Structure 1
């Protein structure tokens, strides 16, 4: 099992309808390739962790890195993991609703990472949401 976690900066400030479509399309793709994960958007930046078989995760990350909707990718995690942190979802998305307050974003992220046993992953997502604009 392999996982990659990164943050990036949003380039285009797309509509929330487009962002929701992105989540749905990405979740469907993840299901096809056996990848699970969590994607959070704070209106300016993204944080995402993807996990699955190494070849699938590496190919997906290469696709994500070429996506023109974001730049300034910073990798936080890239390596083997004994278990999936987000096995419940093909892709869970947080922060893709209009007029979402920072306290609500933080609460939503805390709910999604509640059962994550890797404290580095949990702290990365909670810290990201805590610093949202």
Structure 2
């Protein structure tokens, strides 16, 4: 994939759209028939979108290209951490505030924030050197 084909926000938008579609297909074909209530579908979408938000920046920024020199098993492990962090973070927030009477949009946005922050936090914990260069300058 050529970075110059689209600006950063274009790659981000394309990736987020693709993951949202993939997560919704997973929800409708697998998780829904398995018994997951429709209200919880948002957690799957958040879990799918979190790696896109993190990895587009790592892929696009020149100063972070050294990340891709890690072994593939490490990168795969990081991806698992991001997925699990997003899943756990969004689930905790979503379940914790579902019964508060807040509007559904507010609940979904809070779950997105919680999922992304825990997913990114785990990624940062495993790869602090990627972001140290920014703070060192």
TM-score bucket of the superposed structures, by smaller chain: 0.3 to 0.5
* Structure with more contact order per residue of length (Cα contacts < 8 Å, sep ≥ 6): 1
Counting strand residues as a fraction of each chain, which structure ranks higher? 1
Counting helix residues as a fraction of each chain, which structure ranks higher? 2
Q: Normalization by structure 2: what TM-score? A: 0.34
